[in-house]
Amino acid sequence: MFSNLFNFASPQAFYPVAGRMISWFGWSAALLGVAGLYIAFFVAPTDATQGESYRIIFIHVPAAWMSMFLYLVMAGWAGLGLVLNTRLSGMMASALAPTGAMFTVVALVTGLLWGKPTWGTYWVWDARLTSELFLLFLYLGFMALKEAIDDPQRADRAGAILALVGVVNIPIIYFSVQWWNTLHQGASVSLTRAPSMAATMLAGMLVMALAAWMYSIAVSLARVRAIIVAREQDAAWVRSGTR
Amino acid sequence: MTAAIVLVLRRDLLVALRRKGDALNVLIFFVIVASLFPLGTGAEPGQLRAIAAGVIWVGALLAALLSLPRLFAADLADGTLEQMVVSAQPLPAVVVAKIAAHWLTTGLPLALIAPLLGLQYGLPGDALLVLLGAVLLGTPVLSLIGAAGAALTLGVRGAAVLTGLLVLPLFVPALVFGAGAVTASLSGIAPGPHLSLLGALLAVSLPLGLWATCAALRVALD
Amino acid sequence: MTAAIVLVLRRDLLVALRRKGDALNVLIFFVIVASLFPLGTGAEPGQLRAIAAGVIWVGALLAALLSLPRLFAADLADGTLEQMVVSAQPLPAVVVAKIAAHWLTTGLPLALIAPLLGLQYGLPGDALLVLLGAVLLGTPVLSLIGAAGAALTLGVRGAAVLTGLLVLPLFVPALVFGAGAVTASLSGIAPGPHLSLLGALLAVSLPLGLWATCAALRVALD
Amino acid sequence: MPRKMRYMLDAKDLACERGERRLFSDISLALKPGGFARLLGANGSGKTSLLRILAGLTRPAAGEVLWRGEKLGDIAEGYGREMLYLGHAPAVKDELSVAENLMFSARLSGIAASNDQCRMALEALGIGNLAPLSARVLSQGQRRRAALARLALAVPLPLWLLDEPFAALDENAISRVRALAEAHLARGGMLVLTSHQEVPIAAGNTQTVNLGV
Amino acid sequence: MPRKMRYMLDAKDLACERGERRLFSDISLALKPGGFARLLGANGSGKTSLLRILAGLTRPAAGEVLWRGEKLGDIAEGYGREMLYLGHAPAVKDELSVAENLMFSARLSGIAASNDQCRMALEALGIGNLAPLSARVLSQGQRRRAALARLALAVPLPLWLLDEPFAALDENAISRVRALAEAHLARGGMLVLTSHQEVPIAAGNTQTVNLGV
Ligand code: HEM
Ligand SMILES: Nc1ncnc2c1ncn2[C@@H]1O[C@H](COP(=O)(O)OP(=O)(O)OP(=O)(O)O)[C@@H](O)[C@H]1O
Ligand SMILES: Nc1ncnc2c1ncn2[C@@H]1O[C@H](COP(=O)(O)OP(=O)(O)OP(=O)(O)O)[C@@H](O)[C@H]1O
Ligand SMILES: [Mg+2]
Ligand SMILES: [Mg+2]
């Protein structure tokens, strides 16, 4: 009964749609990125206590958000594939993982660079930092597991199980600043409270976050197209060049 | 259900009994890891006491990890696993029994020897009790998560290392709360919250670990 | 002789590298192990520096131990081992190659990344060099002794207990000297004696490990 | 509905894919009590894969398998209580004795066999004298016999799925297994097997599924 | 001395003990170029054990095996360069492709086979198309074929020892292996094999060693 509802989930139907969407998202990402960086480096004022170094926030925070968000999306696709046995879901999860891992690395590296001037050290073993590091390990584990299994269908299902189990790490990252008292600061952007930072800073961060979002969509779509072609080599529609 | 658990448990324990070396290896490894530190760090009593809980917990994690490759791989190779999946017994019961057997042959011995090691590190009496409680609560978590990791990597080349890569991040909370309980008790803070967090962890990982293991085993055989 | 070594080495490396991630997994796994310790023990820079060498050595030992089961067991089960024994190539050459492949895929990557981890733990420059040297000298010892242990456990009943009792204690000198060299250099003492003891250990375990492995393999197949 | 009632095992339009390659498609197979199906085909044609689909181990790429009119996925262990699958891995643990091995695997199939019954089952395969030995010391054929001894206990299970049961057996063992299979069919059991050896099995109702090259 | 010169392989009064039990004793077997010996016996009678003694893997409880007049223990790898042993474990590594597996195992026997030769050897067993596939995906019979492809390369080795070479093979594969064995005998090679299947092999000089029940 799901067959109609999830008709778009066939790789064949999805391939051309994805092709058309990529450029839209790609251009939006570029434009938003330029705008965000402009706000970050030219509009936003110098911070009273941290000087210029605080500007890392415009990359750090969106990257950290994306790293967690993409994991949830990836796990969502993976779970969908496990339940409904749709081929496309596993490919989507595979396509999202490298981008998620990339944002995790960015969050870690910008955090490291920021830590030196503010905390006086690159790295401390605090709960937020450590759980973010383990998010990276989860992404890497997901990719390693998929890489290690020959049969793509089996790899999809095994990867999905891992991704779903790893979801427990996300609340740990997010709430770690509340659960343990750490060096890292707590959430300052919240839906329930008035933001505690300058409006331009907030705007810059949100624009950068949107850019990251668009970028993720564009890159994942491009990657999923490549995966579709690689996996469906035998399928007639690929060979006949309908793409 | 209970009958199935008892059946598989008896069988696994019998096999373990016939290969005593495996369980012993884990125990010896644990002792070596734990006793290496006084050697490596230049035994200052104060320092030792401070790191004792951490060292013992890391030892427990690694020992659990070391014993994981054996959990399902042999059963897969000789066809026992497929017999278990097509058997008249529910797969979750089989998996519960296998995990229980794993805990009885690795986690429990570790829990029993941990207070001895703590003594070696100069932990006071009440901290020893907390340590015992924490290890008793925490090692089943290790077995549960570990089983899921072992099942996911079944039949994969380099499975042992891949398993480590997959499960160690998930082991971390157990380590944090387990070591935290002992450290808290050392500094005169009540270890209760840490221990109940450990209990919560067990409660979460029981269904999650079971589900993941069963699902992964079916995938491995497909 | 050399041709045989190259042949088996190439084959084993090919098997190992068939999975692109395999060597990488060892590294990531090692990094995780090394990150666990500070987490469990609390995070004071002075303390960290003191335990750095111990942590890295335990990581190396664990990586060696984890990878041992797959050294010969798979070859025994699928018949490759008996083919190697009846082959046109001398058995010691085959064994040298297998041990070398094991070291190249576990020991060497660890040795190369160990200084990076040392950096993370705040070790000074000269201690890092000592660490690199010690790990380079020590990991082949682990591979050699480990291979003998893995060969002994094949087939022979009850040998597992024996291995546990023989091999793990034999690992300890490597750990003690290896960690000792770094600790010495940290406290401003020359690490030379420790390193030369490690070298001596390697010189002893090379012929001994080879001989024991070959003999044990023949016994396992008889 | 009528089809459901007539056949105990009913596999419809099965297809199997391995590594993006289609091994077979549109294979159907239906068994009534006493029915016997022989799977034929060259090496690699997909006999083992088909048998694993019938056992519920592998999911077919298309088609479905019904047992007593219900889909396999929905009945899970219920099917396990009525079906015996013997793959080419013998599922015999080196660490246990031959008798212990048999006892545990019978229990796993839901058959509570007494020590005496196990002994008799081993005798039915001609390895009664090996009962107390560790399975490690068995020869290749003895190991297969130890696995096949389950058949002698599996009288209550109506469906047997056997993958190459005669491989590595000597003549004596082959005729013993054959006798067990024929008795099973005679009392209304069902049997699906693959075999490269031409072993004639008497059955009221024989069908052949040829998977080709 | 005269006996030494007449026979290439000369096994005298062999006995084998396993777990304190004597499997067989006073078994003798001698082969000249072109000679063929078939080992018969029930499951567990000791055929594999005898073959392993001939290969130098197991030491006999009594008696000795001479190759070109020298005792096996004294010649070690020298024997390995002239003898091919195929046990029932196929020695095929899952991680390597079918072609790589063959190439490495040929090298191990001292045969430097080119890629083309490997390809042709696989074709001789009817699995040329599987050459680039990972051995993990092979079916049981395909895996045996991949192991047996060594025979097509082992032309320079005068002595072949084969344990159940026909098990799990379909008819086509059996006749291919049989052809390889007959060609080997015809060019003066020697062959010892065990088989429960009655596969006739034409040889100038056939002997049968019956190990009984
Ligand atoms: C490698 C080290 C670091 C890691 C892994 C890391 C990780 C994260 C993560 C995951 C978030 C998003 C979670 C949330 O929104 O609540 C975040 C946000 C943030 N981080 Fe970091 N961080 C690191 C270092 C730093 C440093 C050194 C600073 C500055 C002192 C910093 C300042 C912030 C700020 C201000 C936010 C935004 C919080 C908010 O407004 O919600 N981080 N970081
Ligand atoms: N992951 C995979 N990728 C490609 N091919 C695969 C994969 N897994 C299995 N195969 C192929 O599927 C077939 C499996 O067949 P199966 O084991 O069912 O054969 P069979 O008929 O039982 O053969 P045999 O007589 O040799 O036992 C083989 O041809 C094998 O090469
Ligand atoms: N350690 C041991 N203790 C007791 N018996 C042993 C031991 N090792 C082997 N055996 C016995 O030795 C015999 C080994 O026989 P072998 O494997 O040579 O048989 P085979 O003739 O090749 O049989 P098959 O036809 O089944 O392959 C078996 O009967 C086995 O039970
Ligand atoms: Mg088959
Ligand atoms: Mg045999």
Print the SS3 string covering chain A. CHHHHCHHHCHHHHHHHHHHHHHHHHHHHHHHHHHHHHHHHHHCCCECCCEHHHHHHHHHHHHHHHHHHHHHHHHHHHHHHHHHCCHHHHHHHHHHHHHHHHHHHHHHHHHHHHHHHHHCCCCCCCHHHHHHHHHHHHHHHHHHHHHHCCCHHHHHHHHHHHHHHHCCHHHHHHHHHHHCCCCCCCCCCCCCCCCCCCHHHHHHHHHHHHHHHHHHHHHHHHHHHHHHHHHCCCCHHHHCCCC
- Angstrom distance (rounded) from CA E12 to CA E63: 5
Over residues E137-151, mean pLDDT: 94
- Domain of residue D34 covers 1-82+158-168+175-213
Over residues C47-60, mean pLDDT: 77
Ligand nearest to the CA of A190: 1
Say yes or no for a CB contact (<8 Å) between C80 and E91.
yes
Instruction: Please give the residue that has the higher pLDDT: either A150 or B218.
Output: B218
Q: Using the Cα atoms of residue A125, residue A129, residue A134 and residue A139 in order, give the sign of their dihedral.
A: negative
Question: What is residue C19's predicted lDDT score, i.e. its pLDDT?
Answer: 55
Chain D CB contacts of A152 below 8 Å: 20
pLDDT confidence band for A176 (50 / 70 / 90)? confident
Instruction: Please give the residue that has the higher pLDDT: either B82 or B222.
Output: B82
pLDDT confidence band for E169 (50 / 70 / 90)? very high
Contact of B125 with B188, CB cutoff 8 Å = no
Asked if residue D115 is part of any domain, the answer here is yes
Over 70: is that where the pLDDT of A127 sits?
A: yes
Ligand 2 pocket by C-beta < 6 Å: which residues? A 150-151; D 18-19, 21, 23, 41, 43-49; E 137-142
Lowest mean pLDDT among A124-133, C10-19, C74-83, E1-10: E1-10
Give the ipTM: 0.82
- Angstrom distance (rounded) from CA D153 to CA C5: 52
Lowest mean pLDDT among C146-150, D122-126, D130-134, E54-58: C146-150
Instruction: Extract the tokens encoding E99.
Output: 């072609």
Instruction: Extract the tokens encoding D193.
Output: 């097997």
Say yes or no for a CB contact (<8 Å) between D19 and A231.
no
Lowest mean pLDDT among A62-66, B212-216, C107-111: C107-111
What atom in ligand 1 is closest to the CA of residue A197? 40
Over 60: is that where the pLDDT of C22 sits?
A: no
Task: Report residue A146 CA to chain centroid gap.
Answer: 18
Residue of C20, C28, C43 lying closest to A125 (CB–CB): C43
Over residues E129-135, mean pLDDT: 90
What is the D43 CA–ligand 4 centroid distance (Å)? 7
User: Residue B12 has what DSSP assignment?
Assistant: H
Residue B193: which H helix or E strand, with range? Answer: helix B192-221
Q: Are residues D162 and D61 part of one domain?
A: yes
User: Residue C105 has what DSSP assignment?
Assistant: I
Q: Are residues D64 and D164 part of one domain?
A: yes
- Whose Cα sits closest to atom 9 in ligand 2? E137
A51 CA: distance to closest CA in chain B (Å) = 35
Which residue, among A28, A27, A33, has the nearest Cα to A207 in the 3D structure? A33
Contact of A92 with A98, CB cutoff 8 Å = no
Q: Are residues D164 and D61 part of one domain?
A: yes
Chains that touch B (3 or more CB pairs under 8 A): A, C, D
Chain C CB contacts of A124 below 8 Å: 43
Say yes or no for a CB contact (<8 Å) between B165 and A82.
no
* Chain D interface mutation, best of A153, A237, A238, highest count of D Cβ atoms under 10 Å: A153
What is the D61 CA–ligand 2 centroid distance (Å)? 15
Q: Are residues D7 and D75 part of one domain?
A: yes
Domain boundary among D156, D183, D202: D156
* Chain E interface mutation, best of C5, C11, C98, C105, highest count of E Cβ atoms under 10 Å: C11
What atom in ligand 2 is closest to the CA of residue D41? 21
Q: Are strands E9-18 and D205-210 parallel, antiparallel or unpaired?
A: unpaired
Name the percent of chain A lying above pLDDT 90.
32
Q: Are residues E99 and E188 part of one domain?
A: no
pLDDT confidence band for A242 (50 / 70 / 90)? very low
Lowest mean pLDDT among C153-157, D15-19, E21-25, E52-56: C153-157
- Angstrom distance (rounded) from CA A109 to CA A112: 5
Overall domain count for chain E: 2
Task: Report residue C215 CA to chain centroid gap.
Answer: 20
Q: Are residues E164 and E133 part of one domain?
A: no
pLDDT confidence band for A2 (50 / 70 / 90)? very low
Question: What is residue C160's predicted lDDT score, i.e. its pLDDT?
Answer: 55
Instruction: Please give the residue that has the higher pLDDT: either B214 or A197.
Output: B214
Over residues E112-124, mean pLDDT: 93
Q: Using the Cα atoms of residue C178, residue C180, residue C183 and residue C184 in order, give the sign of their dihedral.
A: negative
Over 90: is that where the pLDDT of A188 sits?
A: no
The structure tokens 């492809």 sit at E149
Over 90: is that where the pLDDT of E189 sits?
A: yes
Question: What is residue A7's predicted lDDT score, i.e. its pLDDT?
Answer: 47
- Angstrom distance (rounded) from CA E193 to CA E85: 10
Q: Are residues E190 and E148 part of one domain?
A: no
pLDDT confidence band for B147 (50 / 70 / 90)? very high
Mean pLDDT of chain A: 82
C169 CA: distance to closest CA in chain A (Å) = 32
Chain A CB contacts of E137 below 8 Å: 150
Per-residue pLDDT tens over the stretch C61-120: 777 777 776 688 778 878 888 888 888 888 899 999 999 998 988 888 888 888 888 887
Contact of C41 with C51, CB cutoff 8 Å = yes
Over 50: is that where the pLDDT of B96 sits?
A: yes
User: Residue B104 has what DSSP assignment?
Assistant: I
Lowest mean pLDDT among C119-123, D128-132, E3-7: E3-7
Mean pLDDT of chain B: 85
Question: What is residue E76's predicted lDDT score, i.e. its pLDDT?
Answer: 67
Over residues A31-38, mean pLDDT: 88
Say yes or no for a CB contact (<8 Å) between D43 and E164.
no
User: Coil, strand or helix: which one is D29?
Assistant: strand
What is the E137 CA–ligand 2 centroid distance (Å)? 6
Asked if residue E164 is part of any domain, the answer here is yes
pLDDT confidence band for D4 (50 / 70 / 90)? very low
Task: Report residue D137 CA to chain centroid gap.
Answer: 25
- Angstrom distance (rounded) from CA D125 to CA C12: 42
Lowest mean pLDDT among B24-33, B185-194, D140-149: B24-33
What is the A222 CA–ligand 1 centroid distance (Å)? 29
Left (φ > 0), alpha (ψ -120 to 50) or beta: where does D46 sit? left
Asked if residue E38 is part of any domain, the answer here is yes
Domain boundary among D156, D184, D202: D156
Rounded to two decimals, the pTM is: 0.85
Over residues C37-54, mean pLDDT: 69
Ligand 1 pocket by C-beta < 6 Å: which residues? A 57, 60-61, 64-65, 107-108, 111-112, 114-115, 118-119, 128-129, 132, 173-174, 184-185, 187-189
Q: Are residues D190 and D125 part of one domain?
A: no
Given 3-state DSSP classes, what are the helix, strand and coil percentages for chain D, each rounded to the nearest 5?
Answer: 35, 25, 35
C45 CA: distance to closest CA in chain A (Å) = 9
CB contact, 8 Å: C155 with chain B? no
Over 70: is that where the pLDDT of C171 sits?
A: yes
Instruction: Please give the residue that has the higher pLDDT: either D190 or C111.
Output: D190
- Whose Cα sits closest to atom 27 in ligand 2? E140
Q: Are residues D61 and D1 part of one domain?
A: yes
Asked if residue E87 is part of any domain, the answer here is no
Ligand 3 pocket by C-beta < 6 Å: which residues? D 137-142, 170; E 18-19, 21, 23, 41, 43-49
Which residue, among B145, B153, B138, B149, has the nearest Cα to B197 in the 3D structure? B138
Chains that touch D (3 or more CB pairs under 8 A): A, B, E
> What are the residue ranges spanned by the domains of chain A?
15-239
Mean pLDDT of chain E: 90
Residue burial B88-108, b: 16+ Cβ < 10 Å; e: rest: bbbbbbbbbbbbbbbbbbbbb
Question: What is residue D1's predicted lDDT score, i.e. its pLDDT?
Answer: 42
B82 CA: distance to closest CA in chain D (Å) = 8
Q: Are residues D97 and D63 part of one domain?
A: no
Which residues place a Cβ less than 5 A from the ion ligand 5? Answer: D 139-140; E 48
Q: Are residues D62 and D6 part of one domain?
A: yes
- Angstrom distance (rounded) from CA D33 to CA D205: 9
- Angstrom distance (rounded) from CA C30 to CA E107: 35
Over 90: is that where the pLDDT of A100 sits?
A: yes
Question: What is residue A243's predicted lDDT score, i.e. its pLDDT?
Answer: 39
- Angstrom distance (rounded) from CA D132 to CA D97: 6
